Structure 1
Amino acid sequence: MKAGKPQFLQDPRRLKRSTLSIHNRLQSIQEDAAFAQNVQNAYDRPLIANERCGSWYIDPSQKGGSAYFKSTDGHTGVWKFSSRRLNLHLLESIGKNDGCIIIDSTRRGKRMPDALSKTIPIWCSVINRVLFPGESQFYDLYTPPQVVSSTEHAQISKLLPSFKVALKALDIPFDSLKTQISKPLRPMWITPDSNVETTSEIFEQFHPVICCTVSRRVVGPEVTEGGYIQGAGDDTENWAHGLSPPVFWANSKILLSTPESDLPDLIETLVNEVGNGGAVGENVRVIHPTSILFVTQLSSIANHQPEDLTIALSPTVTGQNVWQTSLNSLEIGLGPHKAGSKSLRMALPYIADFIKSHIPKLRDPASQVTRIVIACETGKDLSIGVALTLLCLFFGPDGQLSEETRTSGIDKSFIRSRLGWISTSMPDANPNRATLQSVNSFLMERPR
């Protein structure tokens, strides 16, 4: 009989698994959320969840919005200002509330995520450079010195002028954005180690963007923390069993009082109840400055108007011979996830020809065909790729539908500028790299 592993090798692994339990994660999330609420009580500004994990730490009734700052945009040596994650929607809230509190967390051992220590500081400086062009005193980069070294700070600062040029190239209506804030932006940092005291201080020279790391720092192994897990809301695909922040907050008491062994079944029941209860998909959302191009989820496409031109992108592969289901509708089966993104490249010519054939109707004021509605599973990936393609081919700089298909001037810079329209209209749009590669390949390789 094969001997088992020695007991001294088994126990630490079992101990780690028991420490990283679902219950301990949810308990840790609730503890960190209490700190986030304390910070809001002290500074009286809206709580903004930095997605994906930020929403775990905010009771939905207290949530003031979402942000999409990625730590990868602040990683050492690869700093950037992302044209895919502009976060310009935050300016209105910042202006109305004299700042905001952006909630995020990070893994064991780190003081704060790169999104808070570098990505947001880069964003603040670039926004200031664009919206306050004649006031160079507001151009400075601010980073937390206990996290970002002076050398790295200097390296990032050298890149800021080029980031400003890249943002300006997106051809976004900056004049209207400037009306939303009265002062430049400046990041500030709060962690569980900070001394949080209630204050009504108004900063005369800037709007504070308070970057709040909610999880306390764990330097050693989790097993030394009595069940507390730093960054417990991250990596949900590995532990949450489909549980989402709204379901957690609506059922936190029963979840936290249920034995660990029963939690997977309970979560499955709660998640299914939400799904079977007829949860409504996201509303159909328009891509500005157009007035006719809309994006939504497949779950909402059934609610479209009969006269809409609809393009439904399904995760189930289907043949091209069955894609057109009616005069005004396409149902295109591309496949799931990355496979669907790659298949999109082959479907884009078909979609472009379909829209081109309907342009006379779309431009005719007497026609009942007034909208293009594109849907995919999430409403944030494949549908965004199709919308981006149509914006590049068929829409002018004012968002009006053109009479002719654009045949020249489509390069990476132009595509990024149209993606900026989408990022501004839909901050949560999240096309993956393969989707954008398919769009770029189609647009830049098509015959002129």
Structure 2
Amino acid sequence: MPDALSKTIPVWCAVINRAIKIRYPELPDSWDVKLYTPPHVVSTQEHRAIELLLDEWSISLANSSYDLAKLANPLRPMWITPSTSTFPSLPPPGSGKFCPVICISASKQISDAIERRGGGFSYVQGSGDDHELWGMGLTPAIFWRHRKELLDTPRSHLSDLVESLVTNPFPTESNKSPPTAISHLRGRILICALADLQSQPSGEIDQEDDTSYLLVTADPKAQDNEAQPAQPSDGGRVLHLHVASGKRGQYQFLRDILPRAMGFVGRELKQGRKVCIACETGKDVSVGIALAASQKYFDDDGTPIFEGANAGNKQTIRTRLEWIVASRPQANPSRATLKRVNEYLLTPEEFARGR
């Protein structure tokens, strides 16, 4: 059974249950905050080691800016595998006992590594977490959009179908997702992937459109953008930047992309416009820029500010990342991106200039 089903989901169920109890102390003492793990997969020692960490995580979640709904019943994971002989006993609806979270694994437990697949699938350690290696680029969105076709296709033809669905370079309008407005920022900052834009924005934007665009394109050969004007030369409402990959790209993101992006975002916000920030995935670089802008140009209530610096601290930056994730759950900035954002915001300006 993959760790996601045997540990991650059980941990989240317990953490959410405990955080809700902290947020809503009026809940009855019978509110279940126990950690449940499958005993045949997670040892007693490991189970106890996880339990020692739950309170810290629960307090952190309870003290965050995330909305936590007051659930009718606590969450409780349950497991079904090919070795399950009977279906788990579920509480009657409205009984107030618990809300089941069913974890299903197609892998069967085997005693010999060379055993052929029979009623289930032999579990390969780590394979469930490394979908990049076996998924051929198939994403949940593509799967659900074409699920009938995928499920009806014979196994021998499945790889060809997945490849054709993934490599389509021209997404249809139905495949596009609208830019995500960060609600806590009054919708003034939006995030999306470049492919989600209806068309490539140019400097000539309809005056009735109150949105400006900051586009960041990945380019392995990208040089610093410092040779370009600090702002679009015509005062236009589209700024297109290029960022390299690897360590050079991270240095460029800190010293070039973020300063130029903040100048553009600040100017457009001050003009009363919204700013849509787009990168290749809509999950990493664009989120990092939006995070920096939300700290620099918005106060702790999400109200725009334009006078004086608002560098904040690690906690206020973390809170603003929570605002972004709450509106755009697919946001997943890398550790390197978050580190550069913190460095940009928290490093004294005179020290940054001397580096």
TM bracket, shorter-chain basis: 0.7 to 0.9
**Structure 1 residue aligned with 2:285:** 382
For residue 376 of structure 1, report the CA deviation from its aligned partner: 0.6
| Percent of aligned pairs sharing the same letter | 33
Change (3 A) 1:185 1:254: closer
**Structure 1 residue aligned with 2:353:** none
SS at match of 1:275: coil
Alpha-carbon distance between aligned partners in 2 of 1:228 and 1:360, rounded to the nearest angstrom: 58
SS at match of 1:289: helix
**Structure 1 residue aligned with 2:184:** 289
Alpha-carbon distance between aligned partners in 1 of 2:114 and 2:147, rounded to the nearest angstrom: 23
**TM-score, normalised on structure 1?**
0.63
Of residues 132, 142, 150, the one that matches 2:21 is: 132
> Equivalences for 1:141-180 in 2 at 5 Å?
141-174=35-68, 177-178=69-70
Of residues 120, 135, 148, the one that matches 2:9 is: 120
For residue 212 of structure 1, report the CA deviation from its aligned partner: 2.1
For residue 312 of structure 1, report the CA deviation from its aligned partner: 0.7
**Structure 2 residue aligned with 1:46:** none
Of residues 252, 255, 270, the one that matches 1:343 is: 252
Aligned residue type for 2:149: A
For residue 266 of structure 1, report the CA deviation from its aligned partner: 5.9
Alpha-carbon distance between aligned partners in 2 of 1:270 and 1:130, rounded to the nearest angstrom: 41
Contact 1:142-1:186 at 8 Å conserved across structures: yes
Change (3 A) 1:118 1:405: farther
RMSD (Å), alpha carbons: 3.1
**Structure 2 residue aligned with 1:413:** 315
Of residues 188, 193, 196, the one that matches 2:83 is: 193
Indicate the structure whose relative CO is greater, using CA pairs within 8 Å and at least 6 residues apart.
1
Over residues 92-148 of structure 1, what are the superposed CA-to-partner deviations in whole Å (9 max), with x where a residue is unaligned? xxxxxxxxxxxxxxxxxxxx2222222222222222222223245432222222222
Alpha-carbon distance between aligned partners in 1 of 2:148 and 2:343, rounded to the nearest angstrom: 43
**TM-score, normalised on structure 2?**
0.77
Alpha-carbon distance between aligned partners in 1 of 2:114 and 2:189, rounded to the nearest angstrom: 49
Change (3 A) 1:233 1:113: closer
For residue 445 of structure 1, report the CA deviation from its aligned partner: 1.0
Alpha-carbon distance between aligned partners in 2 of 1:217 and 1:406, rounded to the nearest angstrom: 58
Change (3 A) 1:265 1:322: farther
Contact 2:180-2:192 at 8 Å conserved across structures: yes
Contact 2:297-2:310 at 8 Å conserved across structures: no
Structure 2: unaligned runs, 5 residues or longer? 351-355
Contact 2:91-2:97 at 8 Å conserved across structures: no
Structure 1: unaligned runs, 5 residues or longer? 1-111, 363-368
For residue 341 of structure 1, report the CA deviation from its aligned partner: 4.4
State the number of aligned residues: 320
For residue 424 of structure 1, report the CA deviation from its aligned partner: 1.5
Contact 1:132-1:184 at 8 Å conserved across structures: no
**Structure 2 residue aligned with 1:208:** 100
1:322 partnered with 2:214: no
Aligned residue type for 1:115: A
